[in-house]
């Protein structure tokens, strides 16, 4: 069925991949219910959209906010229900695991995992009503856990597991679940990541900081240049999300970018120790 007028909820549309998805999906004819945390972001997005786009305030870590969004969307879509739910909102904590404060780890998992589950639980009745589907935006780091991105990778591995189990649980209800795994794409995520990483390292005791001073800043630098030189754009991701939303038989996983696809092949084909050797340079100080 063509998307014309059918409603799709997307979280985290204030910037980056979510913004690109919201604008692309509204352009091709969906009614986009764009999740934002601040009304002013929603207003800006609504003005930028060429098609139908209604901002909805959603903080995925706040049950009351999710419930209020479900209520609002139910009023907007009525009996037609939803064509799709795109769980895109996310944050990325980058720091040596030894330096990640527990509160920051909890927040990482809260936004990227529990938040997605809350959204899914809240919106499933509307997805059932609309014979809809779920698209979870994960990452190439849901395949291979890179040093200093352990907190983020843990959340993405969890999202992968959640998506696999959900796909199997919802198969009898004919609600497809797909994962979109982007590789590095330059978005505001990378600057936020760098700020959080530096703060986490600075909050560690001095002798601990000393252990990582020779490698972590270098990693952050190369990480940033990886994003800056990436050929994958937010629009590429938006087009793949669209494909996952309209495919007659949606795939379980869509990689976006050579790095994301490559990490999946690596994880499936190589033994752990071989991957350790490939990643070893990250944690080896230059002498
Ligand atoms: N960029 C990449 O290289 C890359 C690669 C692989 C996967 N991804 C994944 O793609 C998704 C989007 O990332 P991005 O690169 O577009 O990052 P981004 O520009 O930082 O966007 C993240 C979005 O998530 C929202 N968000 C954060 N916390 C939230 C919360 N508690 N409730 C609701 N929304 C919240 C942000 O809203 P505020 O503006 O209000 O904070 C923002 O709209 C993430 O899940 C990320 O893990 C990104």
Domain boundaries, the chain: 7-283
Residue 2: per-residue pLDDT:
52
Q: Are 56 and 33 in contact (CB under 8 A)?
A: yes
Q: Domain 7-283: which topology?
A: Rossmann fold (3.40.50)
Atom in ligand 1 nearest the alpha carbon of residue 237: 10
Residue 257: per-residue pLDDT:
97
Pocket test for ligand 1, best of 10, 12, 159 (most atoms within 8 A of CB): 12
Residues with a catalytic annotation lie at 152
**Cα four-point dihedral sign 279, 235, 231, 213:** negative
For 35, phi and psi rounded to 5 degrees? -75, 125
DSSP type of residue 178:
E
- The per-residue pLDDT for range 170-206, each reduced to its tens digit, is 999 999 999 999 999 999 999 999 889 999 999 999 9
Residue 286: per-residue pLDDT:
80
For ligand 1, residues with CB inside 6 Å are: 11-18, 37-38, 58-61, 88-92, 111, 115, 137, 139, 182, 184-185, 187-189, 192, 227
**Cα four-point dihedral sign 242, 247, 252, 256:** negative
Sorted by sequence, the CB contacts under 8 Å of residue 174 that are 6+ apart come out as 131
pLDDT, averaged per 10 consecutive residues of the chain (287 residues), comes to 84 98 97 98 98 97 98 97 98 96 96 98 98 98 97 98 98 98 97 90 94 94 92 98 98 97 96 97 88
């Amino acid at each position: 069925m063509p998307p014309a007028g059918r409603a799709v909820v997307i979280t985290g549309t204030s910037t980056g991949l979510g913004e690109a998805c919201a604008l692309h999906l509204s352009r091709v004819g969906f009614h986009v219910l764009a999740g934002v945390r601040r009304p002013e972001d929603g207003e800006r997005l609504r003005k930028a959209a060429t098609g139908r786009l209604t901002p909805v305030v959603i903080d995925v870590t706040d049950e009351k906010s999710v419930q209020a969004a479900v209520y609002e969307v139910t009023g907007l879509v009525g009996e037609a229900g939803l064509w799709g739910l795109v769980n895109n909102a996310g944050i990325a904590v980058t720091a040596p695991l030894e330096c990640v404060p527990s509160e920051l780890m909890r927040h990482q998992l809260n936004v990227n995992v529990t938040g997605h589950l809350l959204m899914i639980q809240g919106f499933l009745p509307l997805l059932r009503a609309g014979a809809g589907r779920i698209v979870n935006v994960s990452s190439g780091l849901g395949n291979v856990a890179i040093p200093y991105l352990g907190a983020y990778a843990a959340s993405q591995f969890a999202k992968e597991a959640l998506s696999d189990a959900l796909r199997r649980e919802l198969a009898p209800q004919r609600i497809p679940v797909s994962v979109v795994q982007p590789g590095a794409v330059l978005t505001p995520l990378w600057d936020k990541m760098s700020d959080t990483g530096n703060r986490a390292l600075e909050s560690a005791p001095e002798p601990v900081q000393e252990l990582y001073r020779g490698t972590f800043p270098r990693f952050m630098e190369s990480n940033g240049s990886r994003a800056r030189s990436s050929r994958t754009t937010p629009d590429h991701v938006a087009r793949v999300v669209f494909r996952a939303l309209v495919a007659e038989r949606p795939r379980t996983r869509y990689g976006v970018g050579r790095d994301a696809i490559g990490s999946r092949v690596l994880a499936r084909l190589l033994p752990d120790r071989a991957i350790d050797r490939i990643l070893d340079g990250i944690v080896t100080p230059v002498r």
